[in-house]
Structure 1
Amino acid sequence: MQDTDLPVLDYQTVTGDFQFAELYDWQQQALRSWKAHNFQGVIEAVTGAGKTRVGIAAIAQALRFGMKVTVLVPTTELQEQWMTSLRKDLPRASIGRLGGSHTADFRSVDVIVAIVNTAGSRSLIEHFRAGLVVADECHRYAAPLFARALDEQYIWRLGLTATYTRHDGRNQVLDEYFGSIVYKIWYDEAQRYGVISEFDIALVGLQLQNHEQVEYDMLSDEISTDTLSLRNYFDQAALSEHDFMEAVGRLSKLEDGSAASAIARRFLRNVAKRQSLLANTPVKNFALAALAPSLAAAERALVFGSSKEQAQAATQALQAVGVPAGHLMSGMTKVDRLGTMNAFRRGELHVLCAPRVLDEGVDVPAADLAIQTSGTRVQRQFIQRLGRVIRKRPSGDRGRFVYLYAFGTIEDPALRDDFLTDVLPFARDYMYFNLEQHLDELIEFLAPEPQPEISVELPLETPAPTEYETSSEQPEFEGQPPRWNDILDDGELPEQLSETVLTDDIIGDYFRKIAQYPLLAHEEMVELAQQVEAGVYAQHLLTTNYTGSRKERRDYWRLVDLGEEAFNRMFTSNLRLVVSVVKRYFWGNGEPSFSFLDVIQEGNLGLQRAVQLWDYTRGFQFSTYAHAWIRQAATRSIAESSRTIRLPVHLVEQLNAIRRIENVWIHEGNEPTTQEIALVLEEEPDKVDAARNAEARILSLSSERWINGVPYLLADLIVDELTLEAEQWSVINSFLRGLRIALQRATAGFKERDQSILFHRWGLTTDDGEMATLEEVGRKYGVSRERIRQIERKLLKELADHEGIKAVWVLER
């Protein structure tokens, strides 16, 4: 499509001053500020303020001027929400999507809602006159993988985010593209405009159990000691907390056996243990049970944790005191997620417990009470969680947020200087509580405000009930029930559970994926193995034409399904075991011809075989049994593919044993003899020599070997014993090599044909130095032998005074 083909669109509700329908005052001011900055900049608005509608107004303005528009989103769920909102507010615009199975382009549409990693692989605006890019959640796009989508050809650029500042120092990437923040609306201004509700914050301190406090103090002391030690390797004081942890992470990955890498690994291990201790302490579940009256009095409540185990434990603690609660986690299927969310929406579940998955963006129904059971050091996470309870609700009641922390730990606000001071001043009220001493005061502080009674005159005839009930929080859809991921009425795009996002670190992506599967205890593995066994037997009965009643067949098919689910759980919960086993054999076997992930895949096949054959009745652990199968699959795959000519597996294992013995002796300062190795292995010395001889690898004849500072090809160093003596061959080979190098330098400015004639005449095109005759060279170039002689004479005159050639060969022959 050419520039002249751009359609002229007429949006009557849009003017040059951004008078888009139903904009708040702050949204109009934000758009005017964006316009004053040459239509470039970032608008930062707290969650719930309605920044999405700002983007839609900007899109309408761009379409009015005939521009093409790209909306960048990080997930498919947000893509769907933008599509729904744009179709509702801009019904006359042609809109398409890019990413997944969609491939829209500007030849057929005016607006493209693109997933950022797909948009980064192509230029959407390349052949068009002008364009606008609206980057939702723009703080994410500083990552190298996503930054490729920030095309310089967009002349209008608008970033939307709730928290713009990053902690990895990459905000400069966004500043250079968008031009920094042009408008910011924080809690005070959002409350003044009436776009969020007021909120109270309760900071509730808990005392760890004695043994937990001892363990915490011990871990903290070790962390402090290691932090001081790490100063010797880089200036920890000059680094931010994020940069320091990244530097320690890189140091811990070194496999050089140094003290620095060992200290870094111990440091990270202790930090993880301390965080796990604070997250999983039973004290916080006791606190949730104590706050059951407040949770029951709330319209809806959310409990935020930091791990799946913590969310499950919180759910169990609340159910034990009679509070209907459920949990939402990334490991659940979409059907289970939807069922849990609908139950929470309908009120069947009064409390929803979740780890960080809610931070990544689930569109939850409006809640008026949230409890955070684990401390966070990231401002973005705290603001997103607080945003769940400050959305405007029909009741007009305030939102209430409870921050649980352990006294005297890194969670304690009294020991921290962080973002809490940026939020607390804008709360309607905030108070510190000691749970053991102030429980009654805390419950009173969290009690909802009484609502005035409203008398309503009922009609004489009650209308027939509709198929689906709707509330003021949900949009009404014709012909279909409201879904838990529908757009909220305030115009803010709800966030969704995001799918796996791939990065340039493939191994890291795989590790993050398998980390979502929880580890299982021995008793759970036995129970699952019994279900697998029952499923296999049921499948046998069904496939052997077992005849029974319809109910019996249904029961058998149910057993088969349960067996398959149990098999998958046993398999996925042990994927981390595969990684821990195969890395010992991968890194210690030279350079295999395939990647680490390929070895992991082979180990996974061994794990699959172990799940099939494990006999739980014999009493030993599954991990012990699976270890052998995983090791066998990994080592055999390495043995079969790491060499051009495969060696038998038993011989490879023998060579590995020999190599281990040699490494031990060399580390002690000695080099073992064949007899000493044979003695340790209890083998004959002849067998050890045979194994060593079999280890010889195939080498390329074109590989280089350095002799006296001069590089030689391996093929040039091989002596033909049938034609030349070794000494004579060495002299001739050295002479030809020197002459070849000198002639290449001397004829660098000659024509290619002239160079080739000299090389053939001087015997530099063959390994034996055989000179080509004038007739042979003439035949090659289609001229007479006399013409070749003339050319050669002319070239020799030009080279007569070249010192490099004189040093190798006197020209007058």
Structure 2
Amino acid sequence: FAPPAASKLTVAAHRLKLSPHGRAQVMRALRQSAPALAPQPPPLLPADEFSLDAIILLQRSMLEKQWQLPFEEEDDDDGGGDGHHVEAIGSAEDDDGKGRSSSVVVARSGVSARQRRMSGRRRGRSKKGSGAVHLSISPELLQSRNRIYLRGTVSKELLTQKQVVHLSKKIKDGIWLQQQRSKLKEKLGNEPSYKQMAQSLRISTPELRSRMRESFLAREVLTMSNIRLVISIAQKYDKLGVELSDLIQGGLIGLLRGIEKFDASRGFRISTYVYWWIRQGVSRALADNSKTFRLPTYLHERLIAIRGAKYALEDQGVSPTTQNIAKLLNISEKKVHNATEAVNKALSLDQQAFPSLNGLPGDTLHSYIEDQNVANDPWHGFEEWYLKEEVNKLLNSNLTERERDIIQLYHGIGKQCHTWEDISRQFGLSRERVRQVGLIAMEKLKQRARRKKLDALLQDY
């Protein structure tokens, strides 16, 4: 009969997924240590606590064994493994309060679940591609990339010319692969897969993936190693109405374009070549984001030259007037004047005229600027409505139906204007008779309007 602590350890050992040989060793160790674990009074709580601690330690040891395996896949020749020992230490107190410690040495052998999964995957790959050539990414690229990310987004190590040439060739190879992919897409009418592209280029799919991956890593390494150059160029264009982060973003776009265009066979340094691409990207970002209304790039370049000439004249003690700046830059005064006028900022009439003290929206600039457009005046709309009402009252109260229709047709009141000839054909009268009726009707309206002091309103019609 096994003690309660030993029985629980036995059940825990049976629940572990071990090989038969390993399970036998665990059972042997538990039987040997069972007398030491049995407390003097059989039903004592510390024995249960000791058994629970031992089970937790066993489970913890298995988890640690699995997570301590290396991340890379390694070859396993045998199906077994070395024995792993777990020492479970517990304490039990007697009735008199004296402590007693004991240790249980559990031997575990066999292969963990992770090792079995990894070995099964390796066997499947070896059967599937027994004759395939194993291709891997260049370790230099991976090492450079990891070193860059460990130290931050900016690489502090300068690349040698030999490294730049090697990376440039990788990038050119990736660009060529992308061009071939585009041609194959036009030929097939859809996006080609890696397998179709590899068959078109007469290379294996792993080789295609490896070359594209190396091209991506090479572009990334060259970009990270030249970010400091982008920042230094963007700082020269700072305080011109655009945030420095936007200028750096434009410079990075130019840097990527310059890296793709760089030809290492000509013997130039990459920093010398991409400098102009970075400057072009920063200038484009400045032109697109500095003003509400976009200014041409050449005008921004002229403004930078004018600002430099202004500082140069101030250092010499000369007043930076338009005439002196034009003379120094060898351009006309009109060009200097037009460029400086373009610097004026465009303000919105909807923005607040003064800062609000209580946090509520205040008056806008539109409230302090007179609008010259009469159509936007609310009183003008009211006057038009009042005029139409008074004219309709005069027509209905002072004219006959025929006179009213002739006046409305001739002056276009509520309708389109007609000539005397058109009106005469509608009424079956001569042109002269229709004109006489219209003149008589107008005299009636004028007399009535003078009585009501509406002569000024009637003149508009």
Q: What band does the TM-score fall into relative to the shorter chain?
A: 0.3 to 0.5
- TM-score for the superposition, normalised by structure 2: 0.43
Point out which structure has higher relative CO (alpha carbons under 8 A, 6+ apart).
1
The structure where helix makes up a greater share of residues is: 2
Which is greater in Rg? 2
